[in-house]
Amino acid sequence: MTFRDLMLDKVLLDNIQHKGYTRPTPIQRQTIPHIINGRDVIGCAQTGTGKTAAFALPIIHSLGVTSHTRYIRALVLSPTRELAAQIGDQFAVYSRNTPLRHTVIFGGVGQNPQEKAIRNGIDILVATPGRLLDLINQGVVRLNKLEIFVLDEADRMLDMGFIHDVKRIMKVLPKQRQNLLFSATMPQEITALSKQFLVKPVRVEVNPQSSTVEKINQSIYFVDRPDKKKLLKHILTTEEIERVLIFTRTKHRANNLAKQLTKANLPAEAIHGDKSQTARTRALSNFRSGKTRILVATDIAARGLDVEAVSHVINFDLPNIPESYVHRIGRTARAGADGIAYSFCDVDERPYLKDIEKLIGERVTVNNSHPYVSDVPKPEPTPKEEEKTKSNKNSRNRRRRRNRNRNRNKNPQ
């Protein structure tokens, strides 16, 4: 299937070609026709699947590429500033040579330029919930003519505690509208929310979580916590690593690690929620351009990071939420590329590893040939193995019973 088969407007086809996409991704193939037809859609897809274009292209198509109104007709809510900025960048690319205007608003920066852009008139607004609510309350943003509402990364909105803001925003939207919800996972709260506001949605699911994972070469390093830094330096100095994203559990650990690596002649930058927007943008653009090869991040800051050619992801700390593991390592397999993911696991993190292996349905290969190996635990059986042991045990018991009965029949007392 080509983009032409999706019946998108010619201007959009030209812009897609200009961007260099040759074929629609699965989420685009399955979602775009429904959105163009005005249906509500639930898209289960994570970043890296091309989901932004899956909603941005049909939105531009539906708003009409030859006219503009200069009032907000489409709203995209995104949980983080980085993701919002990236969505804005994609709208800019896809709406080239159309009169449609969009802007991106988020907190942590002055509101004046954002306010000015809105007052000048826009058709599409990309926003994080907090800043949007502020601007709604100040009467700067009016959404009474909204036609299409997109809730992006709904599960992350929930994790980050934004869901109440989202609900408040939804209260001021016109009842009659098209709704699109995208989420990498579907926790119960999101399913409940979707039932409240989507009307007969089409459900589209791509990349069940494990299939992204399959393309990534994953390994686990059992290591004592105090040795993690040494192990990291060892890997960074002995392996060919083009561009690596390192995850830590806390902002403090991210800062600390970036500092220590830089001191050890391995220039690194940290990105997390406490950094100013300018510092985050600078760190990201240095990483994108290849000026810094090592970026240390926390989960929230890295959510939705769209950086091509991340060759390695290293989980310096394992996440306690197994889905985060999938999101993290997914940074290294963008748009079809393969990737490498290493995870360090100390004794306290072993239960997290168990949860991760349960989620991805496979055991992560253990790397025992590094200089800081801690005791390698005896692996617990996976559910599949447990099942097998159980059925072996059952058939053994059956055999024993049969033999006992046979013996009894042979030697009746």
Task: Give me the least distance between CB of 273 and ligand AMP, in Å please.
Answer: 20
**Phi/psi at 76 (5° precision):** -115, 120
Task: Give me the least distance between CB of 300 and ligand AMP, in Å please.
Answer: 16
Task: Give me the least distance between CB of 28 and ligand AMP, in Å please.
Answer: 6
Closest CB to ligand AMP among residues 25, 98: 25
Q: Which residues pair with 39 in a beta bridge?
A: none
As given in the structure block, the two tokens for residue 209 are 């979580």
Task: Give me the least distance between CB of 3 and ligand AMP, in Å please.
Answer: 8
Which of 335, 379, 388, 399: binder of ligand AMP (CB under 6 A)? Answer: 335
- CA of 202: how far to CAs of 35, 52, 155, 205, in Å? 9, 17, 18, 10
As given in the structure block, the two tokens for residue 289 are 């351009």
- Which DSSP helix (H) or strand (E) runs through 183? strand 178-183
Task: Give me the least distance between CB of 48 and ligand AMP, in Å please.
Answer: 5
Cα separation of 249 and 230, whole Å?
18
As given in the structure block, the two tokens for residue 65 are 């590429």
Closest CB to ligand AMP among residues 16, 268: 16
Closest CB to ligand AMP among residues 20, 110: 20
Name the segment binding ligand AMP (CB under 6 A); options: 21-29, 60-68, 244-252, 314-322: 21-29
For position 372 contacting ligand AMP by CB under 6 A, the verdict is no
Binding mask 76-115 for ligand AMP (x = CB under 6 A): ----------------------------------------
Closest CB to ligand AMP among residues 230, 288: 288
Taking residue 150's Cβ as centre, other Cβ atoms within 10 Å add up to: 24
Which of 52, 183, 209, 343: binder of ligand AMP (CB under 6 A)? Answer: 52
As given in the structure block, the two tokens for residue 95 are 């709406």
**Phi/psi at 9 (5° precision):** -60, 150
Q: The tokens 């000026």 sit on which residue?
A: 291
Return the half-sphere exposure (C-beta side, CA atoms, 13 A cut-off) of residue 3: 24
Size of the site for ligand AMP (CB under 6 A): 15
Closest CB to ligand AMP among residues 24, 129: 24
The side-by-side arrangement of strands in the sheet containing 102-105 is: 102-105, 124-127, 74-77, 148-151, 178-183, 41-44, 202-205
Name the segment binding ligand AMP (CB under 6 A); options: 44-52, 72-80, 127-135, 362-370: 44-52
Contacts with ligand AMP in 215-254 (CB under 6 A)? Answer: none
Which of 49, 103, 114, 212: binder of ligand AMP (CB under 6 A)? Answer: 49
- CA of 372: how far to CAs of 1, 217, 377, in Å? 50, 21, 15
Closest CB to ligand AMP among residues 46, 257: 46
Closest CB to ligand AMP among residues 50, 339: 50
As given in the structure block, the two tokens for residue 255 are 């800062």
Binding mask 305-324 for ligand AMP (x = CB under 6 A): -x------------------
Residues belonging to the chain: 413
Cα separation of 182 and 270, whole Å?
28
Binding-site ranges for ligand AMP (CB under 6 A)? 21, 23-25, 28, 47-53, 306, 334-335
